[in-house]
Amino acid sequence: MSQQFPKVSIASENSVIVYFSDRPCSQTSSIIAHTAGQLKKTLSNCLIDLVPSYHSLLVIYNAIDVNYVEIEQAIFSSIGGDLSMVELATGRRIELPLYYSLESGPDLKRLAARAKLSIAEVISIHQQTEYTVFAMGFSPGFAYLGEVDPRISAPRLDTPRQQVAKGSVGIADRQTAIYPAQSPGGWNIIGLCPAPMFDLNKQPSTLVKPGDTVCFKAIDRMQFIQLGGLEVDLTGTDQ
């Protein structure tokens, strides 16, 4: 960690952004999770929301109950003077099933050809890596996971699909992610995950949170269906 971090910048009349580094990594994600947990304890009802991102934390507070100086003091008190000495938060390790196949992963064959690997090698490499949840965004429950092995990294599609099926697992550059709902998208789709990533009826509503670690385990078509996946039908998905 550079000596210039942590750095607190005013974002609005009742929010600040805390920067922890100049690039995302698992250590930064862990420190962000640690700081968020500490602020929830120390600021309690003064907080409106905490929004973690790749290497920063947005702190939104009630300006009637607390002012900027008090927020800044609470932030530095929660972090401590030296980021390298922060007791890192331990996120959960979550294993998710993933149905890798040509029917569930329309970009799997092309991605393998681009990497000059077999489809089996691409699948093996993808599921051997443990991914850190760097941030949540794009849509509710959409988690940005990194980092993808450089051998199978691939840029986003030149033309995004109008529809990407719910549960689709994609790769974009050094990140991978699961689409929590059907939506447009430009990631390279390699399979389908039957695990629900977002459910408003549950608390918490998202299956993962920043700082958690995610790994994937390959399943077959029948297991996918038994675990709650729909019959695989990509006829309505733009190829």
For the chain, what is the mean pLDDT? 88
Q: How far is CA 49 from CA 40, 64, 80, 171, 227, in A?
A: 9, 15, 21, 30, 34
Total domains, the chain: 2
Q: Which of 50, 67, 85 is the last residue of a domain?
A: 85
Helices (H), 92-172: 108-115, 119-128
The H-or-E segment that residue 131 falls in is strand 131-136
Indicate whether 221 and 128 sit together in one domain: yes
Strand 56-61 to 15-19 pairing: antiparallel
Range of the domain at 201: 93-226
pLDDT of residue 225: 93
In the predicted model, is pLDDT for residue 136 greater than 70? yes
User: What is the pLDDT confidence band of residue 88, given thresholds at 50, 70 and 90?
Assistant: low
Residue 8 has a CB neighbour count (10 Å cut-off) of 17
Number of neighbours of residue 56 by Cβ within 10 angstroms: 22
Model confidence pLDDT, tens digit, residues 20-70: 888 777 778 778 888 888 898 888 889 999 888 888 899 999 999 999 999
Least confident of 50-54, 117-121, 127-131, 233-237: 233-237
Q: Residue 66 maps to which CATH number?
A: 3.30.1360.40
Is 38 a member of any domain?
yes
Please tell me the distance from the alpha carbon of residue 85 to that of residue 117, in angstroms, as a whole number. 42
Residue (of 183, 126, 184) closest to 159 by Cα position: 184
Do 163 and 119 have their domain in common? yes
Rounded to whole angstroms, the Cα distance separating 111 from 118 reads 10
Say whether pTM exceeds 0.95: no
